[in-house]
Amino acid sequence: MTRTLTLRRPDDWHLHLRDGAMMHAVLPWTARHFARAIIMPNLVPPVVTPADAAAYRDRILAATPRGSGFRPLMTLYLTEETQPRDVRAAAEIGLIAAVKLYPAGATTNSASGVKDFSKVRRVLETMAQVGLPLCVHGEVTDAEVDIFDREAAFLDRVLDPIRRDLPELRVVLEHVTTTDGVAYVREGGDGIAGTITAHHLVLNRNHLLAGGIRPHYYCLPVAKRETHRRALVGAATSGEASFFLGTDSAPHTDAAKLQPCGCAGCFTAPNALSVLAEVFEAEGALDRLEAFASLNGPAFYRLEPNAETITLERAAPEDVPAQIDTEDGPVTVFDPGMALHWRVSGG
């Protein structure tokens, strides 16, 4: 049995750090293991201008543990008022690595998202010209569409028309949760990729709902049927270049999660790599973990993989804290419902 595994240092291609006291509490957990991360812009107010992105980047860097080498990759929140010239300027100076599309109302702090996609066409054209990826939360928000069908509907109604109209636009379908999403990425050519989270690799909707509601498993997109989870595992462990890790680690205080209308999100930063190693080991695919966690993402974003390495060790189950404390209140760490034998050496 393999006992150690050395990888290029991984990156996280979808991360929520929040701001203020919460950011100071959760950022060190990402910086322990990950060299870079695509930072989500859905603050309140959102990160919509280059000045917003620069200021947020500086706050992140000020809170980053000394010596970690962690580098935030900033994004802009796409609104119907976003100006093409601002996107072009921010991309050309290397301030941003992507632009994020939230359909209005799709998830946490997404009220400023896009309702009329014709109003963002010029921005998308500019992004295609400069090679800037569009990261999409792939769900429609129409009330008549079942929440378990919203990813598939988004592909048909929104994403496919955009990509047919602008085939040169590079797109990341974030946190893929369905067989439909996996197939769409696989069949979409070099211009599209999909991120997969650690928690969607181990959760199906029974974990969320059977025997009682488990609020700490509630995330958006919501976990789907077991057939969909198995498709995600197959994609992640395949070694295919179009799939890579985006944890979507999304911290909320327990007070925000445990209420009649609780927040969506799983805080996985402390144990995402351990969960991945368990999943890949179970599939006999540990030799493909580096591609998923460390190589495929940089290749799509046209960056070099990290030069430094980390080593995972298999030993007694890792003792991950059940909660972390923040000045805003405790945040529960994702519990995958299984023992985690893999841990990052020295981390």
pLDDT, tens digit, for every residue of 239-259?
999 999 999 999 999 999 999
Among 322, 269, 277, smallest CA distance to 12 is for 269
Whether the CA torsion 276, 231, 228, 142 is positive or negative: it is: positive
Q: How far is CA 257 from CA 38, 132, 173, 261, 262, in A?
A: 24, 34, 26, 8, 4
CA distance 120 to 47: 16
Q: What is the pTM of this model?
A: 0.96
**248 flagged as catalytic:** yes
pLDDT of residue 141: 87
Helix (H) or strand (E) holding 135: strand 134-136
pLDDT of residue 116: 86
pLDDT of residue 105: 62
pLDDT of residue 313: 96
> Tokens 């989500």 identify what position?
40
CATH number corresponding to 4-344: 3.20.20.140
Identify the active-site residue in 116, 160, 248, 335. Answer: 248
| pLDDT lower than 70: segments of the chain | 1, 105-111, 347
